[in-house]
Structure 1
Amino acid sequence: MSQEVIVDIYISADEYQRYYRGSASRVVATTSDGRTVQFPAGVLQRVVGHDGVRGRFAIRFSQAGKFESIERLG
């Protein structure tokens, strides 16, 4: 059974370049219910745009904590 967290992410294009180049490998975010989560920066490749990563996202992961999917909400 999958688990899901909802996070608001605002990373500028310049800041995202740090992740892309590998100088930062993990993203730390606060969920909509106040928990702190961290996940590999590579997860965001599917949702990065010209202005970086901005918006509310549902991130799904397995019971074992393995990433399954990310979806932009709204």
Structure 2
Amino acid sequence: MKRQYLFNAYLAKEKCLQYYQGKLRYVVVTADSGERIQLALKHFQPFFSDLGLRGRFRLFLLENGAFQQLEKIN
């Protein structure tokens, strides 16, 4: 059974730049359920903008906890 988590994410432009510089690889988000999840920033890269990262996301994990999909829902 796949698991899904909903959460809001905000990352300043400077932090996104640190990802490209190789200084920042992971981020910890808190799902609506209260669970904390560590994710590789590479999964967020398609959602980076000139403002950084901001939005509401849905994360899908496989049964074994492995990453499956991340989608921006607004």
Question: Which bin holds the TM-score, normalised by the shorter protein?
Answer: 0.7 to 0.9
CA distance in 2, matches of 1:69, 1:44: 10
| CA deviations over 1:24-52 (Å, ceiling 9, x no partner) | 21110111111111011111012111211
Residues 13 and 52 in structure 2, CA contact (< 8 A), matched pair in contact too: yes
Instruction: Please state how far the C-alpha of 1:20 moved relative to its aligned partner.
Output: 2.2
Number of residues of Structure 1 aligned to a counterpart in Structure 2: 74
TM-score, with normalisation over the residues of structure 2? 0.88
Secondary structure of residue in 1 paired with 2:15: helix
Match of 2:33 in 1: 33
Instruction: Please state how far the C-alpha of 1:18 moved relative to its aligned partner.
Output: 1.0
TM-score, with normalisation over the residues of structure 1? 0.88
Unaligned runs of 5+ in 2: none
Secondary structure of residue in 2 paired with 1:49: coil
Match of 1:65 in 2: 65
CA RMSD between the two structures: 1.2
- Runs of 4+ with >6 A deviation: none
Match of 1:5 in 2: 5
Unaligned runs of 5+ in 1: none
Secondary structure of residue in 2 paired with 1:9: strand
CA distance in 1, matches of 2:20, 2:67: 18
